[in-house]
């Protein structure tokens, strides 16, 4: 479960609403659904930057333009506000979500045809945008929301407020729900480095060449192992504050690992990490995919301690993430179960660990009903199957300690086993150079910047080290270019330096 850091530290505004909206649609129901299936055990990973921003919403300590314009009476909207709503309030899957509501679909086609919107049209759009992002389960369980959905159009301002007022209640339930399921032993919660950085690249951008020798590197090398250590340390601290104990597991951001970052993870008291199968075969210098090796934990022994590594089955994870949403539910679940049956038949009575690790929010928007039908049927079939036992990672390791050791962990991530998604093309390289220049300024400015400003400067730097900004560079995703330049501009403001002129213009054009 992951979102990058959207909050503008200088204004307190959420530049994009995805923490709130995915909080309404994904983070709570994904764990609550397990109540019906006590035999199903799962491991959930929560990224600290997501948890922090959920807390900010609950405390109402941040502004959200999308939410403010939702609350504003439709009759009072200015021309620019109406323009913003038309441009942004259809930001959800058209085929699987918008088309299910005749009124929402009608408004979509009105917008596409550039037809004039009246006050009632804007009001209905305000309601439907927020309803669409509220999980179908919550819409069904609330009598008030059921009535509003059934009414479908000609909403009143009071009905709109009823929809919006439910949102904070849902957000408030998220972390308590995870704690509740943890206490019963049905789930385990792991953590990622705080602002979701690519740790091997924080250690040294030259690490990218270990994964792919052809990678083009920045002209200014970025190498701050101490930052990688802090990102792990602060994540562990947040986990302890939220859940009352130390995390056993860590999902390195984007499953990105290298030998160099292992000491930081071990120092954090982490007992296991998860990464992609490509890293296993690269580590073992194996050119052949061998599930006999894949379907078991591996141990890393270093002077700093021992660390278990779990490797995911990429094929099975990708079926759920990228394939099954276009299938009929029954066919998708049957196909998945057939894969597991074939695996069981191949290994007979041997005990093996088959791991699927995947994005916890984005896939479900493409499934009918936000994935509820698929997950319910899948959990039913898994619960009934005699040859499967679901488990959390720590539960499995306690009963089945790793038998194989890895002498040296290869560098890479879940995407092609390298770091090309975050470094290598001219735009990503330039972004790293900008970041390296800023990081140098922070060290030279420490004597001048003191107290709370210094603390704020460090926080802004750690935010800038997040993975998402680099992920999108070179793909003309202007929102993330804007966010990176905003964070970087704010950094220079915080340390009392002039904002470099190059930050005025998009890097992607």
Per-residue model confidence as pLDDT tens digits over 164-204: 999 999 999 999 999 999 999 999 999 999 999 999 999 99
- pLDDT classification of 474: cutoffs 50, 70, 90: confident
Strand partners, 309: 273, 298
Helix and strand numbers (H, E) in the chain are: 24, 9
Tell me what the pLDDT averaged over the chain comes to: 96
- Percent of residues, the chain, with pLDDT higher than 70: 99
Q: Is pLDDT of 286 > 70?
A: yes
Residue 403: predicted pLDDT: 95
Mean predicted confidence (pLDDT) in 294-316: 97
CA distance 194 to 497: 26
Q: Are 419 and 199 in contact (CB under 8 A)?
A: no
CA distance 252 to 47: 10
- pLDDT classification of 444: cutoffs 50, 70, 90: confident
Q: Any residues with CB less than 8 A from the CB of 177 and at least 6 apart, and which?
A: 28, 31, 32
Cα 28 vs. chain centroid, distance in angstroms? 14
**Whole-number Cα distances in Å, 220 to 155, 355, 440:** 56, 38, 11
Q: Are 430 and 464 in contact (CB under 8 A)?
A: no
Q: Is pLDDT of 377 > 90?
A: yes
pTM: 0.96
Per-residue model confidence as pLDDT tens digits over 233-269: 999 999 999 999 999 999 999 999 999 999 999 999 9
What are the extents of the domains in the chain? 13-36+50-178, 187-312+395-405, 316-388, 426-504
Helix (H) or strand (E) holding 85: helix 79-88
Q: Is pLDDT of 25 > 90?
A: yes
- Between 348 and 127, the more confident residue is 127
């Amino acid at each position: 479960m992951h979102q990058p850091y959207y909050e503008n530290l200088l204004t307190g505004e959420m530049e994009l609403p995805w923490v709130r909206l995915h909080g309404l649609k994904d983070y709570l129901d994904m764990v609550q659904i397990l109540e019906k299936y006590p035999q199903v055990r799962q491991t959930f990973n929560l990224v600290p930057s997501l948890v922090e921003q959920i807390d900010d919403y609950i405390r109402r300590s941040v502004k959200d333009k999308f939410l403010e314009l939702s609350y504003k009476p439709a009759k009072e909207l200015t021309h620019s506000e109406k323009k913003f709503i038309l441009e942004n309030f259809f930001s959800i899957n058209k085929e699987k979500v918008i088309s299910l509501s005749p009124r929402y679909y009608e408004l979509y086609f009105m917008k596409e045809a550039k037809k004039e919107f009246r006050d009632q049209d804007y009001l209905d759009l305000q309601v439907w945008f927020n309803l669409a992002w509220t999980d179908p389960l919550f819409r069904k369980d609330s009598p008030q929301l059921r009535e509003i959905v059934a009414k479908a159009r000609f909403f009143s301002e009071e009905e709109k407020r009823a929809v919006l007022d439910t949102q904070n209640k849902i957000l408030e339930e998220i972390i308590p729900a995870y704690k509740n399921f943890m206490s019963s032993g049905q789930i385990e919660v792991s953590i990622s480095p705080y602002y979701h950085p690519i740790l091997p690249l924080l250690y040294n951008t030259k690490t990218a060449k270990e994964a792919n020798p052809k990678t083009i590197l920045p002209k200014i090398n970025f190498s701050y192992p101490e930052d990688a250590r802090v990102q792990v340390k602060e994540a562990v601290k947040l986990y302890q504050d939220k859940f009352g104990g130390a995390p056993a597991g860590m999902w390195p951001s984007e499953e990105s690992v290298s030998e160099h970052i292992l000491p930081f993870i071990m120092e954090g008291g982490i007992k296991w990490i998860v990464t992609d199968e490509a890293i296993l075969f690269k580590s073992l210098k194996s050119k052949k995919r061998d599930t006999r090796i894949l379907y078991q934990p591996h141990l890393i022994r270093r002077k700093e301690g021992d660390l278990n590594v779990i490797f995911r089955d990429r094929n099975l994870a990708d079926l759920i993430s990228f394939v099954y949403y276009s299938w009929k539910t029954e066919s998708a679940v049957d196909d998945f179960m057939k894969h597991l049956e074939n695996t069981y038949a191949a290994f007979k009575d041997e005990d093996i660990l088959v791991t699927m690790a995947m994005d916890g929010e984005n896939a479900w928007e493409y499934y009918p009903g936000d994935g509820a039908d698929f997950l319910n049927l899948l959990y039913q079939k898994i619960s009934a199957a005699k040859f499967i036992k679901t488990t959390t990672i720590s539960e499995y390791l306690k009963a089945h300690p790793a038998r194989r050791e890895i002498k040296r962990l290869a560098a890479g991530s879940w995407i092609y086993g390298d770091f090309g998604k975050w470094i290598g093309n001219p735009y990503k390289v330039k972004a790293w150079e900008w970041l390296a220049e800023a990081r140098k300024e922070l060290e030279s400015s420490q004597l001048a910047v003191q107290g709370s400003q210094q603390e704020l400067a460090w926080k802004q730097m750690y935010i800038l080290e997040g993975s998402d900004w680099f992920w999108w560079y070179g793909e003309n995703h202007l929102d993330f270019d804007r966010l990176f330049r905003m964070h970087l501009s704010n950094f220079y403001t915080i340390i009392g330096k002039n904002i470099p002129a190059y930050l005025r213009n998009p890097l992607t054009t």
